[in-house]
Structures are given as C-alpha cells and as structure tokens.
Amino acid sequence: MDPLSDILALLKPESTIVGGFSAGGDWSVLFPAPSGIKCYAILSGSAWLVVDGVPEPARLHAGDCFLLPRGRDFTLCSDVSLTPVDYRSYLSPAGQTEERHGRMNAINGGGDFALIGGHFRLTAAHARTLLDILPPIVHLRDDADRAALRWSLDRMRQEVTAPQPGSALVIQHLADMMLIQALRLHLAQDAPNRTGWLFALADRQIGATIAAMHEIPARNWTVASLAAIANMSRTTFAQRFRQTVGTTPMTYLTNWRMLLATSRLRTLPVGTVALSLGYESESAFSTAFKRTMGCSPRQYGRPEAAA
C-alpha cells in the first residue's frame, strides 16, 4: 500500500455513527469533544461552526465539507450569539441507536439547514500523534472539492432517506470514502505551514523515502541510503526531510516502527515483532519501544495496559 493507506489502515477508522440533522429558525447545538474524527457535509442552507480553541467561527454553506480531527468541543448554529443547547436534547429516547442507523433528526421542525456525515472512532493507540499535524478545522469549500465528493454524498443521502437491505454497510463504506477523499483534498490545498507526514507525501522526493520506509520497515535504513532514494546529498536530504516532515528521518522511521508494533503486539510475541521491524534483539526493540511509547512492549500488550 501507499503511505497514506498504510497510516489510515493503522488508524483503523470505523464510522461508528452516520447521520445528521435538519434545523429551522434560530438554533445552536453544542457537541462534546468527539473521541475520533468528525467528517460532515452541508446539504442545504448555511450555518456557523465554532470550535473550542479556534478564535474565529467558520461560515458553512451548502456543498461545504469539514473535518474536525483534534477532538474538541464544537457548536453548529444559525447565530453565534445564541446560547448552545446540548445535542442530546434533540434526540428521541432511542436516539443513539437511531443515529447509528443514519437517522436525520429535526431541530425546530427543520427546513432551513441540513447536514450529514460520519463520526469515526479511531481504534489504534496513539492516533493523536498521527492526527495532530492537521488543523482544528479542515474546511473544504472549493468547487473542485465539492465535485470530488458529490457522488459519495448523494449516494449517502439516498441510503439514509430510503434505506434498503445492506444500507448500513453501504453508509459505512461511503463515510470511509468521505474521510479519505477529504484528507486527499486537504493535502492538495495550498495551506501555510505545510509541515508533517501528510504534506510530506506530496513532495516527490521526500514522499519516495517515506514510501520506502513504509514498504520495508525492517531494512537497516540510514540517512545516506534514504538520501540516495531521494537523489539528494546526505546533508541536503536531512535538512529537507526535517523541514518537510518536522522530524529527522531516523526519528520518523523509529516512530513508524513503534506504531506498527502497537498493532502487532496484540497477536504476536515481543521477539517476533522485534525481528519483523529490523531489531537484532528483543532488548534493543524493548528499549526503543519504551523510549517512544512510554511503557514496555509486554506492558503494552496486556489488555489492562490498553484499557
């Protein structure tokens, strides 16, 4: 797989809730910090999005999409001066179950604004280290971006409003596609401070070295061997990698190996995981793991350590 697919597979995003709501009149809804990523699209109307810690609210219009990858409280409203009401106040007694099955809830009778999308829980440990390079709000509103997402959104709306056998699974896959496409589009945007693994993938030379480390994580990589892949001098490559990714090549490699290890330790012995990631001894691997993850591999692999 390519590096973005590798990382998304490691994150193991699951669309645990897919649904939305329609609102009318004056309204303001508060949502608590999600445990994963919110990925939504505006079907009709307009609204304000206020995210905790972000100074200015974002104006949303029909066709816009937005991701909230940082796990912060947020409010959607018709007017930022209104007092927010907890979203659970608008759910029916069976609200959580119905929302999971794609229910469209109504606020004040609906009609002026409609939103649909997904809430992705991330099952992988230390997912925050992979997502913190994204801004608190990923706002997609360009016409080309809208066209790229239109098919998925239209199909999801059909599945939600007119359920058929298998709709729940179709909705889940469509939500996954929305997440991947939104990340692609954000990657293509000309945003300031483009530093981190996601933006590095768009750099042909640095992206090639990341792909190589992902393809063969157990190889005895050195700065020199990676620089050769990038067709750059060792010094220039090391500087360019740090500027683009935000860390050194060897630190990135170690972090990637440890993230792979967190997944493999669930089912494989420590020694097997160590060898699969290029460590000559279990002790060397354990030292690197503890330094990076904050606990020993054996502690991490225990169910109680993961709770």
- Domain annotation for the chain: domains and CATH numbers: 12-188 (2.60.120.280), 197-306 (1.10.10.60)
pLDDT at 307 over 70: no
pLDDT at 148 over 70: no
Name the average pLDDT for the chain: 83
What's the CA gap between 274 and 280, in Å, rounded? Answer: 7
**Residue 69 · residue 54 · CB < 8 Å:** no
Selected residue with higher pLDDT from 117 and 245:
245
Identify the pLDDT of residue 92.
57
What band does 54 get if pLDDT is binned at 50, 70 and 90?
A: very high
pLDDT at 190 over 70: no
Identify the pLDDT of residue 302.
60
**Residue 285 · residue 240 · CB < 8 Å:** no
Beta-bridge partners for 104: 20
pTM of the complete model beyond 0.75: no
What's the CA gap between 274 and 282, in Å, rounded? Answer: 6
Strands 85-86 and 28-31: parallel
- HSE, side-chain direction, 13 A CA sphere, residue 42: 23
* Pair of tokens at residue 244: 């683009």
* Pair of tokens at residue 267: 């089912």
DSSP string, 284-298: HHHHHHHHHHSS-HH
Selected residue with higher pLDDT from 187 and 164:
164
pLDDT at 28 over 80: yes
Cα Dmax for the chain: 65
**Which residue reads 């640095």 in tokens?**
206
Beta-bridge partners for 18: 118
What's the CA gap between 301 and 44, in Å, rounded? Answer: 47
Identify the pLDDT of residue 305.
43
Selected residue with higher pLDDT from 33 and 270:
270
Q: For 230-240, how does the pLDDT look when each residue is reduced to its tens digit (9 = 90+)?
A: 999 999 999 99
